[in-house]
Chain A
Amino acid sequence: MTLTTPTAVRTHPAHPVSVQGVGRTFASRDRSAQPRAVLADVDLEIAAGDIVALIGASGCGKSTLLRQVSGLDAPTTGRILIDGRPVDGVDARCAVAFQEPRLLPWRTLTQNVALGLPRGTDRATGDRRVAELLDLVGLADCAGYRPRQVSGGMAQRAALARALARNPGVLVLDEPFGALDALTRLRMQDLLLDVHAAEPTTVLLVTHDVDEALYLADRVVLLGRPAGAPPGAPAGVRSVVTVPGRRPRDRGDAGLALLRAQLLDGLGVPTHHEAHDPDQHHSI
C-alpha cells in the first residue's frame, strides 16, 4: 500500500477527549421494571493523536460510550469534552465508522465517501479529497462501483474513507473489523495504522479482540463492572493498560503475552481453560 501525502487542507487537527463522570441510564420499556444503568462514573482522558482501544464483555456499554463521544447519544450524567468543548449533539469534529459499512446502496463508493465531506467543502476540493482517500484505502480502481458490487472488506474500507473525509479530530470506530474474516481483519488493522500515520488523528476504537487492541492501541481501556458487583450493576473503567513499545508492533511479541493474559483475565476469560475432571463435582 502506498501512502499519499494529503493535499487538502485539514481543518481539524487531532483533538484530546475528556470523559468526565459519564453515566448512562436507559429507561425501561416495561413500566414496572427499573431503569437500567449501563455506565456509571466513567472517567477517561485521551491525549490528542492517541489510539485508545475499549474492550469489555458484551453489553458492558462500550458502544454506548462511543455513541456518546460522537454525539449520537447523550450521557445521563457527566459530560464529554472534545478539545475542551463539550459534545452536544452530533459533533462535526468526530467521525464514526460502524461494525457494518452502512454505505448508501444507491450511491457509488465515491459518492458514499463524499457524504463524509464537511459541509461547505467546495466541489473541486471535495472531489480531490475523495479521490485521495479512496487511493489511501486502496479503492481507487473501484470508485465507480456500488456497495453491493464489492466485498465486505472493500465496503468497510470505503466506510473508513468516508469517516476520514470528515477530517475528524477524533475518529470513533465501533468494532470496525468485527464482521470481517480473520485475514481481511489483519489487513485492515495494518491499513488503519497506515492511515493513522498518514493522517494522525485521535482514534477511539471498540473491539472484542484483545490481540487487535494490543496491536493497534497506545492504551487499552478495560470496561466492566467492579469486582463483586451484582449482575445488573453499571460498568465503569476497570483498568487502563499502556501498551509498551512503538507501532508497528510484532504480532507475535512475547512481551505482550502477559498483558494479553491480564486483559483476558479481566474479561473473565482465563488463558488456560482447566479441563473438566469428570469425577470431580463442581458447580458453575
Chain B
Amino acid sequence: MSDLVAPARGATVRRATAPGGSAAADRPRTGPDAPSALEGSEVGAPAPGPTLIAASQLGTAVVESPRGRGRRRNLALALVVPVGLLALWHLATAVTGTFASYELPSPGAVLDAAVELATWDKGPNLATHVQISVQRVLIGFLAGSAAGLTVGALVGLSRLADSLLSGTIGAVRAVPSLGWVPLLVLWLGINEDSKVVLVAIGAFFPVYTTVASALRHVDPQLVEAGRAYGLRGASLLLRVQLPAATPSVISGLRLGMAQAWLFLVAAELIASSMGLGFILTDSANNGRVDRILLSLVTLAVLGKLTDALIGVAEKRLLRRW
C-alpha cells in the first residue's frame, strides 16, 4: 500500500532537498518504459496535493521532512481567519463596545457561559447536551447512511429498481426537512426515536443519490473486463463496482454527515429538553445570546470534527486511487 505513493513522494522530497539537481538521474529504475511511467506517476498518482506544492515552493534544502513542515504551514494558514475573526469580535464588543452585551456578547462572556454551563448542577450540563446531540447524530447517520447505501446500490445496479423507485424517492426527497416533524412527533412521540429518525432521513438522501449515480456510471469497460474474468453478481459488485464507486460514496457520506447535523438542529429546535438545538431555543426564550453563540460554536466545532473523521477514513481508503 505505501509503495504506491512512494515514487511520487520520493520525487517530491528529492526536488525539495536538491533543487538544482537532475531529477531524471535520481529516478528509480522501473524497466524499459520507465521515463513515461514516472511521468505518469507524477501527474496521475495520488500525490499528497498541498504538500507537493508547499514542498516545492520551499525550494531550499530542508533538514526537517518537507511533509511535516508543509502540514504545519497549512495548519497555520488555516488558523489565520478564525483567529482574526475572534480578534475582531473581541474588538467590537469588549474593547470599543460597538455592540451591547445583549446584542453580541464578547468572546470572554461566551467562554464564561461555557464554564457556567459546563459546571451546571441544576439540570443537564454542557457535556450532557453535547453527548446527547452527538449520540443522535451518530445513530441517525449510521442508520440513514446504511439505508442510503443499500437503496442506492439497488437503484444504481438494477434497471428495474431504478424504474420502480427513483421517481418516488425523488419526490420524497423534495419534502423539506421540517415537514417531517409533525408526522414523526405524532407517530413516534416526542422522544429519542423521532429525532433519530429525522436525522436518519437527513443522512439518507445525499448518500442514496451519490451511491446510485456512482454505481450507475462505473466504467462499463471495467465491468465488462470483470465479467470476462468470471465475476458475476456479488463478486462483481465487491471487486469492481464498489471499489470503482468508492470516491463518490465517500463524498456522499460527507454530505450525509453535514445534513445529519442540519436535521439534528431542526429536530431539537422543535421538541426537545436536551441537546445543542435545545440550548438554542431555550436561550432564545431567555435572551441568553451568550449561550446561543456557545451552542453555535460547539455545533461548528463538532460538525468540522465529524467531517474530519470521515476525511481520515477517505484518505485511508483512497490511498490506493
Question: B211-247 vs A: 1/0 string, CB under 8 Å?
Answer: 0000000000110111111101000000110011010
Q: Determine the chain B residues whose CB is within 8 A of the CB of A148 once the complex forms.
A: 40-41, 44-45
B73 on the A face (CB < 8 A):
no
B10 to A: closest C-beta gap in Å: 12
Contact pick for A104, options B29, B37, B222, B228, CB 8 Å: B222
Contact A141 B40 (CB under 8 A): no
A102 on the B face (CB < 8 A):
yes
By beta carbon, the residue of chain A nearest B219 is: A102
Interface of A is mostly: loop
Q: Determine the chain B residues whose CB is within 8 A of the CB of A119 once the complex forms.
A: 230
Bound-state Cα–Cα, A242 to B36, Å? 38
Contact A149 B40 (CB under 8 A): yes
Question: A82-117 vs B: 1/0 string, CB under 8 Å?
Answer: 000000001010011010101011111000000110
Contact A151 B40 (CB under 8 A): yes
Contact A90 B37 (CB under 8 A): no
B interface residues, how many (CB within 8 angstroms): 31
Q: Determine the chain B residues whose CB is within 8 A of the CB of A184 once the complex forms.
A: 33
Q: Do A90 and B321 form a contact, CB below 8 Å, given A146-B45, A149-B40, A150-B37?
A: no
Q: Determine the chain B residues whose CB is within 8 A of the CB of A150 once the complex forms.
A: 30, 33, 37, 40
A144 on the B face (CB < 8 A):
yes
Contact pick for B30, options A98, A145, A146, A166, CB 8 Å: A145
Q: Determine the chain A residues whose CB is within 8 A of the CB of B239 once the complex forms.
A: 104, 115
Contact A141 B30 (CB under 8 A): yes
Contact B37 A145 (CB under 8 A): yes
Q: Determine the chain A residues whose CB is within 8 A of the CB of B221 once the complex forms.
A: 98, 100, 102
Contact pick for B37, options A70, A106, A144, A149, CB 8 Å: A149
Q: Do A106 and B33 form a contact, CB below 8 Å, given A72-B228, A98-B221?
A: no
B315 to A: closest C-beta gap in Å: 14
How big is chain A's contact interface, by range? 20 to 34
Bound-state Cα–Cα, A119 to B229, Å? 10
What total count of A-B pairs have CB within 8 Å?
84
Interface of B is mostly: helix
Bound-state Cα–Cα, A154 to B34, Å? 9
Contact pick for A151, options B7, B29, B37, B228, CB 8 Å: B37
Q: Determine the chain A residues whose CB is within 8 A of the CB of B72 once the complex forms.
A: none
Contact pick for B36, options A70, A102, A151, CB 8 Å: A151
Q: Determine the chain A residues whose CB is within 8 A of the CB of B240 once the complex forms.
A: 104
Interface residues of A in 201-215 (CB under 8 A from B): none
B159 on the A face (CB < 8 A):
no
Question: A124-141 vs B: 1/0 string, CB under 8 Å?
Answer: 000000000000001101
Contact pick for A141, options B31, B41, B226, B246, CB 8 Å: B31
Bound-state Cα–Cα, A150 to B38, Å? 7
A44 on the B face (CB < 8 A):
no
Contact B3 A106 (CB under 8 A): no
B320 on the A face (CB < 8 A):
yes
A41 to B: closest C-beta gap in Å: 26
Bound-state Cα–Cα, A104 to B247, Å? 14
By beta carbon, the residue of chain A nearest B227 is: A90
Interface residues of B in 44-87 (CB under 8 A from A): 44-45
Q: Determine the chain A residues whose CB is within 8 A of the CB of B222 once the complex forms.
A: 102, 104
Contact B41 A105 (CB under 8 A): no
Contact pick for A149, options B45, B226, B244, CB 8 Å: B45
A13 on the B face (CB < 8 A):
no
Q: Identify the A interface with B (CB < 8 A).
A: 70, 72, 90, 92, 95-96, 98, 100, 102, 104-108, 115-116, 119, 138-139, 141-142, 144-146, 148-151, 153-154, 162, 166, 184
Q: Identify the B interface with A (CB < 8 A).
A: 3-4, 7, 29-33, 36-37, 40-41, 44-45, 221-222, 224-230, 232, 239-240, 243-244, 246, 320-321
Q: Other CB < 8 Å A-B pairs besides A139-B31, A153-B33, 6 of them? A: A102-B222, A106-B321, A108-B4, A142-B30, A146-B320, A151-B33
